[in-house]
Amino acid sequence: MAGAPTPHSATPQLLTSLLIDGELVAGQGFVELILNPATGEVLTHIAEASTEQVEQAILAAHRAFTGWSRTTPQQRANLLLGIADAIERNADALATLESLNCGKPLHLARQDDLSATVDVFRFFAGAVRCQTGQLSGEYLPGYTSMVRRDPIGVVASIAPWNYPIMMAAWKIAPALAAGNTLVFKPSEHTPLSILALAPMLAQLLPAGVINIVCGGGEGVGSHLVSHPKVRMVSLTGDIVTGQKILQAAARTLKRTHLELGGKAPVIVCNDADIAAVIEGVRTYGYYNAGQDCTAACRIYAQAGIHDTLVAELGAAVSSLRFASKRDADNEIGPLISTRQRDRVASFVERALSQPHIERITGAAVHSGPGFFYQPTLLAGCKQGDEIVQREVFGPVVTVTRFDELSQAVDWANDSEYGLASSIWTQNLDKAMQVAARLQYGCTWINSHFMLVSEMPHGGLKRSGYGKDLSSDSLQDYSVVRHIMARSSYEL
Ligand code: NAD
């Protein structure tokens, strides 16, 4: 690891085995290089699952379903608590792997990703034991109706690379809690943390309840999505991937749970606390190098504070620390790959080729090792610009000026995306009115980005329709059933 900007003193062993039917096995498919994006160096090689191994994993999950689906919520909750404890005990090692594989600062992976991951397993352990529903009763004389919520079957869970272990938790915990069995596929770029967890899962859960297969989307991913024994596909990923999955799922009428991209509007009114806005956008526009579907990336600034905001935010963004050899100094990491970095660079290049867009700070690839891109702020952007309309998924924030608040709300809603949004004003009444009109799965008031396990996370429009976190997610991973009993007994 010589020359690495983020040294990890005690690098844990890099485990590369898949988990199929309770066994840790080497992949027999194509061999994938696993890189450290902070250095560009090869960390290890992982053999993907072969077609036969994907088949074995699905059949194992199918066999395990009968037993697992009949366990009680209490039994499943205890096992989920065991997983949470195992993750907590190994949090330092898992955070190190997450940091190596994503390039993200180790202290942030430990403090944010791992804590949230543990909490998600603990939340679903509790939530599955206290679900609520419709009242049973006699809605037809002589018949008693009751409602059940039952698991769906084998779920194929397909995750992205931006928060590998946390996304795994968002998918695995509610699906298992609800009584489903799983085949989980991490992103081909970031399998290390979930593969490190595989031996613990193998020890804690009955064979076949969770299977982990590595591989790319077109091979392993599309095999999972088209298999007739898979009853539901859960994807967090790109809109185009969601569309492909919907097409494949249509052939066997699978349930789908889609969490897709985002382009979060941030409406800043003249009466906002500007210092709070600057601190919020500096942090949550650029967190995880902007590789976040809720990133505060599309600012609408009211004319009265526009110039001050642009100047002060520009200074704040240019002070973001990254690519330092001392992990504790870094606030953000690199992009996941050269491909992603080049994609971000080409978005910015196209934006700056337009005369009305002004570079305030950044807008260049960082020189030195790793896939870093400078935190970038662009002003003078117009509603129709590509950089305002499309998800960049990198450390790039735009500012668009507005006069009337109704205009900003219309522009915010004029988007294919519908995941997250925020409104910044000291007038709570105004904030509530704006929040009611925004067509987004979440609206923060005088804040951005904060998630809690108890509240639903998910989008509208092309951002998808699955809900992660909260008891709503348990509903997504289960099916409602009506049981009706006729009684002829006269009392
Ligand atoms: P991606 O769509 O390229 O990949 C996501 C996963 O889908 C990977 O595991 C990939 O192998 C798999 N995949 C790709 N093609 C497939 C196919 N044809 N069949 C089956 N599986 C396939 O996305 P990414 O680049 O890893 O992640 C970035 C995207 O994820 C961004 O658009 C981002 O907004 C989105 N995202 C959304 C949320 C959310 O909560 N809404 C959270 C994180 C990321």
Question: Which of 184, 212, 214, 236 to mutate to test ligand 1, by most ligand atoms within 8 A of the CB atom?
Answer: 236
Report d(CA 130, CA 338) in Å as an integer: 46
Contact 350, 307 (CB under 8 A): no
CA–CA separation, 101 vs 113, rounded Å?
Answer: 13
Indicate the pTM of the whole model.
0.96
Hey, what amino acid is at 325? K
Nearest CA to ligand 1 atom 9: 187
Q: Which atom of ligand 1 is nearest to the CA of 248?
A: 19
Q: Which atom of ligand 1 is nearest to the CA of 293?
A: 34
Residue 159 Cα to ligand 1 middle (Å): 6
CA distance 438 to 338: 35
**Ligand 1 atom closest to residue 239's alpha carbon, by position in its atom list:** 32
Q: Rounded to whole angstroms, how far apart are CA atoms 284 and 298?
A: 12
User: Helix, strand, or coil here: 461?
Assistant: helix
Beta carbons of 354 and 398 less than 8 angstroms apart: no
Pairwise CA distance, residues 25 & 54, whole Å: 12
Atom in ligand 1 nearest the alpha carbon of residue 158? 9
Closest residue (by CA) to atom 28 of ligand 1?
A: 237
Q: Which helix (H) or strand (E) holds 389?
A: helix 386-389
Pairing of strands 298-302, 442-445: unpaired
- Quote the tokens at residue 209: 């309840």
Using alpha carbons only, how large is the chain's radius of gyration in Å?
23
88 noted as active-site residue: no
| 144 Cα to the center of ligand 1, angstroms | 45
Residue located nearest, by CA, to atom 33 of ligand 1: 261
Work out the burial of residue 354: count CB atoms within 10 Å of its CB; fewer than 13 is exposed, 13-18 middle, 19 or more buried. middle
- Which residue is catalytic, options 102, 293, 381, 442? 293
* Residue among 76, 66, 58 at smallest CA distance from 21: 58
Calpha distance 105→486 (Å, rounded): 62
SS3 content of the chain, % helix, strand, coil (to 5): 40, 20, 40
Tell me which residue of 335, 12, 40 sits closest to 192, measured CA to CA. 12
Cα of 141 vs centre of ligand 1, distance in Å, is 50
Number of C-beta neighbours around residue 449 at 10 A: 18
Cβ 463 vs Cβ 417: under 8 Å: yes
Nearest atom (ligand 1) to Cα of 186 = 9
Respond yes or no: is residue 259 known to be catalytic: yes
Cα of 304 vs centre of ligand 1, distance in Å, is: 39
Nearest residue (by CA) to ligand 1, atom 22, is: 217
Instruction: Spell out the residues 6+ positions from residue 218 whose beta carbon is closer than 8 angstroms to its own.
Output: none
pLDDT value of residue 8: 53
Q: Write out the H or E segment, with its range, that includes residue 75.
A: helix 73-89
Give the distance between the most distant pair of CA atoms in the chain. Answer: 84
Which residue shows structure tokens 């890189």? 35
- Cβ neighbors of 281 (< 8 A, separation 6 or more) are 266, 296, 299, 313, 316, 317, 397, 448
CA distances from residue 308 to 242, 295, 301, 327, 356 in whole angstroms, order as listed: 40, 22, 10, 32, 19
Dihedral angle over CA of 413, 243, 475, 414, nearest 10: 0
CA distances from 456 to 442, 469, 474 (A): 9, 5, 10
**Cα 235 to ligand 1 centroid, rounded to whole Å:** 7
Q: Within 6 Å (CB) of ligand 1, which residues are found?
A: 158-162, 185, 187-188, 216-218, 221-222, 225, 235-238, 241, 244-245, 259-262, 293, 391, 393, 419, 459, 463
* pLDDT value at residue 11: 83
pLDDT in tens, the chain (491 residues): 333 344 455 689 999 999 999 999 999 999 999 999 999 999 999 999 999 999 999 999 999 999 999 999 999 999 999 999 999 999 999 999 999 999 999 999 999 999 999 999 999 999 999 999 999 999 999 999 999 999 999 999 999 999 999 999 999 999 999 999 999 999 999 999 999 999 999 999 999 999 999 999 999 999 999 999 999 999 999 999 999 999 999 999 999 999 999 999 999 999 999 999 999 999 999 999 999 999 999 999 999 999 999 999 999 999 999 999 999 999 999 999 999 999 999 999 999 999 999 999 999 999 999 999 999 999 999 999 999 999 999 999 999 999 999 999 999 999 999 999 999 999 999 999 999 999 999 999 999 999 999 999 999 999 999 999 999 999 999 999 999 999 988 88
Considering only CA atoms, which of 299, 310, 260 is closest in space to residue 422?
Answer: 299
Instruction: Determine the pLDDT at residue 9.
Output: 52
pLDDT of residue 273: 98
Tokens representing 20?
């199929």
Which residue lies with its CA nearest to atom 40 of ligand 1?
Answer: 259
Pairing of strands 265-268, 255-259: unpaired
CA of 448 to the centre of ligand 1 (A): 22
Long-range contacts of 239-247 (CB under 8 A, 24+ apart): 239/416, 239/462, 239/463, 241/217, 242/462, 242/464, 245/158
pLDDT at residue 491, rounded to an integer = 84
Ligand 1 midpoint to CA 203 (Å): 29
CA distance 55 to 62: 10
CB 264 within 8 A of CB 419: yes
Bridge partners of 377, per DSSP, are 361, 397
Mutate which of 102, 158, 167 for ligand 1? The one with the most ligand atoms within 8 Å of its CB, which is 158
Q: Which helix (H) or strand (E) holds 478?
A: strand 478-486
* Apex 34 CA angle, 197 and 44, nearest 5: 80
* Closest ligand 1 atom number to CA of residue 161: 26
CA of 190 to the centre of ligand 1 (A): 12
Beta strand pairing call for 154-158 and 181-185:
parallel
46: which DSSP letter?
E
- Phi and psi at residue 31, to the nearest 5°: -95, 125
Options 32, 48, 98, 259, the catalytic residue? 259
Coil, helix or strand at residue 232: strand
